[in-house]
Amino acid sequence: MDAESKQQHVHAVFESIAPKYDFMNDVLSFRRHKAWRRFTMRKMEVQPGQKSLDLCCGTCDWTIALAKASGGEAVGLDFSRNMLNIGQAKVDKLGLGGQIKLVQGNAMELPFADNSFDYVTIGFGLRNVPDLMQVLREMKRVVKPGGKVVCLELSKPSWQPFKGLYYFYFEKLLPLLGKWLVKRYEQYRWLPESLAAFPDLQDLAERFRQVGLRNVRAYPLTGGIAALHIGTKGNDGA
């Protein structure tokens, strides 16, 4: 699939599954994603007043967690209007409209100035973009010197027999659950397809280094089915 087709496909997938996205996340990950998000926030050590940008924010769970943790400003960016509408409803319900701004835009080309944010995050989004190096370069560009680029994403378990069992679930059963529960087989087939071409734990850490991020840390989660990567932009801005 070429870059343009991938982008259009991904956009169509999320426009279509938006109303059921949160429910299906809980079901398909056996609620593990909530533990991964809590682990991530602990490792980030967000400080009061810090400003964050959450790319591919979708229904905004991470954007909201960032705003709550800092008490400061958080910006969420996503290209799916339907996903953002659900996120905006959550933000409004929590009374966080003064802190959180949602922007419809493309993670490949960020509408923000250089050195603007203390944290730039991307949750389960990097696997979906047409060019992950371009997105990492953009994340590094808009984070402040000394700030952090953080990616929480599905990854590739390596040890048997867990690996075999997991891939049977992920590739065969998961799309069927999408079909049975929310009538979206093709959309949930995208999940294993998108992981196939995505780098594993060490390879993604190397990509972080290649864009110039420093002190890169990579944490496998739940036997390696997900991973957290954190990199720091040099204090010299390089």
Ligand X SMILES: C[S@@+](CC[C@H](N)C(=O)[O-])C[C@H]1O[C@@H](n2cnc3c(N)ncnc32)[C@H](O)[C@@H]1O
- Output 105 or 162, the one with its CB closest to ligand X: 105
- Output 67 or 107, the one with its CB closest to ligand X: 107
Cα separation, 106 vs 214, whole angstroms:
25
Among 79, 119, 190, 208, which residue sits at the site for ligand X (rule: CB under 6 A)? 79
Q: How many CA atoms lie within 13 A of 232 on its CB side?
A: 9
Distance of CA 87 to the CA centre of its chain: 14
Among 58, 147, 157, 199, which residue sits at the site for ligand X (rule: CB under 6 A)? 58
Q: Is 121 annotated as a binding residue?
A: no
Q: Name residues whose C-beta falls within 8 Å of residue 137's C-beta, 6 or more positions apart in sequence.
A: 211
Neighbours of 92 (CB within 10 A): 11
Candidate segments 45-53, 55-63, 112-120, 215-223, binder of ligand X by CB under 6 A:
55-63
Phi, psi of 99 (to 5 degrees): -105, -30
Cα separation, 215 vs 192, whole angstroms:
30
Secondary structure letter of residue 223 according to DSSP: G
Indicate the residue type of 182: V
Among 36, 65, 118, 123, which residue sits at the site for ligand X (rule: CB under 6 A)? 123
Candidate segments 58-66, 162-170, 180-188, 211-219, binder of ligand X by CB under 6 A:
58-66
Candidate segments 104-112, 138-146, 210-218, 220-228, binder of ligand X by CB under 6 A:
104-112
Count of residues interacting with ligand X (CB under 6 A): 20
Binding-site residue ranges = 59, 78, 106-107
Question: Given the rule CB under 6 A, which residues bind ligand X?
Answer: 7, 10, 14, 56-58, 61-62, 78-80, 83, 106-108, 123-125, 128-129
